[in-house]
Amino acid sequence: MKRNIPLLDLQKEYELLKDQLLPAVEEVLSSARYIMGPQLNDLSNHIQNLLNVKHHIPCANGTDALLIALNALGIQPGDEVITTPFTFVATAETIAFAGAVPVFTDINADTCLMNTDQIERLITDKTKAIIPVHLFGQMVPMEPVMNIAQKFGLKVIEDTAQALGAVQNDRFAGTVGDIGTISYFPSKNLGAYGDAGGLITNDDHLAETCALIANHGQAHKYEHHLIGMNSRMDTLQAAILNVKVNYLKEWNRIRGEKADLYNHLLDPKIEKPVVAPGNTHIYHQYTIKLDQRDDLKEYLEKQGIATAVHYPIPLNEQPAIKALNLPDNPTPVASKTAKRVISLPINQYLSDDDINYIVFHVNTFVNG
């Protein structure tokens, strides 16, 4: 019998958590402290304890978090920032929005992560930072990134939008470089019920600067120490996240179990996710690769199985980025990978029976 299996089931999540969520929301509504309420400090304490990091600075969304980090680190117009072309556009657009120049490595074919072997040859006297993107739920190998950054005096911003709680050699994503950025977009492993973001760092001065930038450069009411922006997380989102954060470790563990089941059942001809050495993968996405990606997507849709393509066009091939007239730097692995990736449903509420149904149809397709 045909089923209806979504990529992510936020309605089921709400039904299971509403007895905790509704009182948390009611508390905010009753207090009328919709901006900068005490729930933001509570959230920061939760995240700091969860990730063993000194500072968490809430902001309006993950894109703003990247822009705030770039500004706090002093990235100027004309500076170059090295990153990956295989991710969501926010990583590159914030570099450009800051007036800097995105410079793209290619990716590794197996993990889809930034190819760190290419970073050093892309460095010029204008290079000021590296943004590794921890994609699909696992971390870029950070030892080579940090060694290169130290060698050339570069800053490191970890884009942790898809990897909150991921670990590499006992270090949490976002806590290895100078600063990490977080997205609490609803589809993330820890998602708000609207836009929300954050930054994490162990640097006191950097944390203070980020907090100022996110709130109009304001240290005290009507006292502005630098040019900032309006990027405050609203209190309702913090209240919701304070409920959900208590479940993140367990949810990430369950996602890992679902991924293991996929790995065991999917046909060997399918290229399954590869976990980089030292990594604990939290499977924000379960992304496979095959040449007939578009046909598979269409077939699964007919079976009631939702899928997504992350990402169909590398950033350096996007019209908005090409319009920047960047130096030609082909990324053939990213270009090929973009035509072959497809993400299958994965979340903590996906039943083993649903996975069996999905796998049956994927394997049926692959075997003709």
pLDDT digits (tens, 9 = 90+) for 205-223: 999 999 999 999 998 888 9
- CA 294 to chain CA centroid, Å, is 24
C-beta of residue 159 within 8 angstroms of C-beta of residue 91: yes
Q: pLDDT confidence of 343, banded at 50, 70, 90?
A: very high
Model pLDDT for residues 35-54, shown as the tens digit of each residue: 999 999 999 999 999 999 99
- For residue 128, the model assigns a pLDDT of 98
Q: Give me the percent of the chain exceeding a pLDDT of 70.
A: 100
Give the C-alpha distances (Å, rounded to integers) separating 109 from 65, 112, 207. 28, 6, 35
- Please list the residues that pair with 107 across neighbouring strands: 114
Q: How many CB atoms lie within 10 A of CB 234?
A: 20
Domain with CATH 3.40.640.10 in the chain: 10-246
- For residue 2, the model assigns a pLDDT of 84
Residue linked to tokens 């100027």:
76
| Cis peptide preceding 262, ω within 30 of 0 | no
Q: Name the H helices within the chain.
A: 10-31, 39-51, 62-72, 90-97, 119-122, 142-152, 204-214, 235-244, 248-265, 293-302, 319-322, 332-338, 352-366
pTM assigned to the model: 0.97
Model pLDDT for residues 122-131, shown as the tens digit of each residue: 999 999 999 9
- Please list the residues that pair with 271 across neighbouring strands: 289
- For residue 126, the model assigns a pLDDT of 98
Q: What are phi and psi of 256, to 5 degrees?
A: -60, -40
Domain with CATH 3.90.1150.10 in the chain: 248-366
Q: Is the pLDDT of residue 155 over 90?
A: yes
Count of helix runs (H) and strand runs (E) in the chain: 13, 14
Q: Is the pLDDT of residue 77 over 90?
A: yes
Neighbouring residues of 296: CB distance < 8 A, sequence distance ≥ 6: 290, 307, 342, 362, 365, 366
Angle formed by the axes of helices 90-97 and 62-72, nearest 10°: 40
Level-2 CATH architecture, domain 248-366: Alpha-Beta Complex (3.90)
**Strands 167-168 and 171-172: what pairing?**
antiparallel
Smallest CA-to-CA distance from 270 within 287, 249, 248, 251 is with: 287
Q: Is the pLDDT of residue 328 over 90?
A: no
Model pLDDT for residues 279-293, shown as the tens digit of each residue: 999 999 999 999 999
Model pLDDT for residues 143-152, shown as the tens digit of each residue: 999 999 999 9
Model pLDDT for residues 157-181, shown as the tens digit of each residue: 999 999 999 999 999 999 999 999 9
- For residue 63, the model assigns a pLDDT of 98
Q: What angle (nearest 5°) sits at the alpha carbon of residue 185, between those of residues 179 and 188? A: 85
Average pLDDT, the chain: 97
Pick the CATH number of 10-246 from 3.40.109.10, 3.40.640.10, 3.40.710.10, 3.40.190.80: 3.40.640.10
Please count the CA atoms within 13 angstroms of the CA of 206 that sit on its side-chain side. 23
